[in-house]
Amino acid sequence: MKNIVILISGSGSNMAAIVAAARREQWAERRGVQISGVIANRADAGGLALAQAQGIRTEVVDHKKFATRTLFDEALAVAIKRHDPDARPALVVLAGFMRVLTAGFVAEFEGRLVNVHPSLLPAFTGLHTHQRAIDEGCKFAGATVHRVTAELDHGAILAQAVVPVLEGDTAERLAARVLTQEHLIYARTIFEMLY
C-alpha cells in the first residue's frame, strides 16, 4: 500500500476534498493508495477533527515549540515517517500548510512533495494572491498544483484551473471561487501522480 501524508495548518478543506475523492474513487482498491496520516503545525487546526472523523491518524507538530525552522522541519520529517511503515511515503501533500520549508526538508522528500497555490503560477507567489490579482487588474485568477522545491511556489506545474475575476470582486469572493477549483484539481492531480 502506498501512503499519502497530508500537512495542514487550518480548516482542512483541501484535505477533506482529497479524502472524499479517495473514498469515492476507491484509491485503495484501484491504486493501492491510502491516506495514512494528517499532520498539523497548529493544535487548533480545524482539519484535525475532520481527519479524525474519517478514521485517519492525526498528529500535531507545533512550529512554535522550535527555536528554528530547521529544527521544526526535522521534527516534521520524523512525524511524517511515523505515518508510513517504510518511512518513505509515496506523497507528502501540502493542503493549506502555511509554513515555508527548508531546503534540507525539501531534499529529503524530493519528488514526493506537492502543493496547491491559489494563483496561476508563476504569477503571485506567496500570500494575498487574490487581492494582488484584483489590484493588478487581472481578468483571470486561479489555482496551481505544483511540485515543491526549495524556492517558494516555483516547482514544476502539474495542473491549473482558471477562474474569471468579476467586476466588483472582493478578495474573499474570488478566493471562494478559486477554492472550489482547488478542491477539484488537487485530488485529480494526486490520483494521476500515483498511477
Domains along the sequence of the chain with CATH: 2-193 (3.40.50.170)
Flag whether pLDDT at 113 surpasses 70: yes
- pLDDT, tens digit (0-9, with 9 covering 90-100), for 45-80: 999 999 999 999 999 999 999 999 999 999 999 999
pLDDT at 185: 98
Find, among 39, 193, 43, the residue nearest to 114 by Cα.
Answer: 193
Residue 89 predicted with pLDDT over 80: no
pTM: 0.95
Residue 90 has pLDDT above 90, yes or no: no
Q: What is the pLDDT of residue 146?
A: 98
pLDDT at 41 exceeding the cut of 90:
yes
Quote the pLDDT of residue 87. 67
Residues serving a catalytic function are: 117
Q: Which of 103-112, 129-138, 152-161, 186-195 has the lowest mean pLDDT?
A: 186-195
Handedness of CA 120, 153, 57, 66 (dihedral sign): negative
Judge whether residue 84 has pLDDT over 90: no
Which positions ≥6 away from 135 have C-beta within 8 Å? none
8-state DSSP, 156: P
Please, are residues 181 and 145 in contact by the beta-carbon 8 Å criterion?
no
Residue 122: what pLDDT?
Answer: 97
First to last CA, the chain: 13
pLDDT of the residue at 72:
98
Average pLDDT, the chain: 95
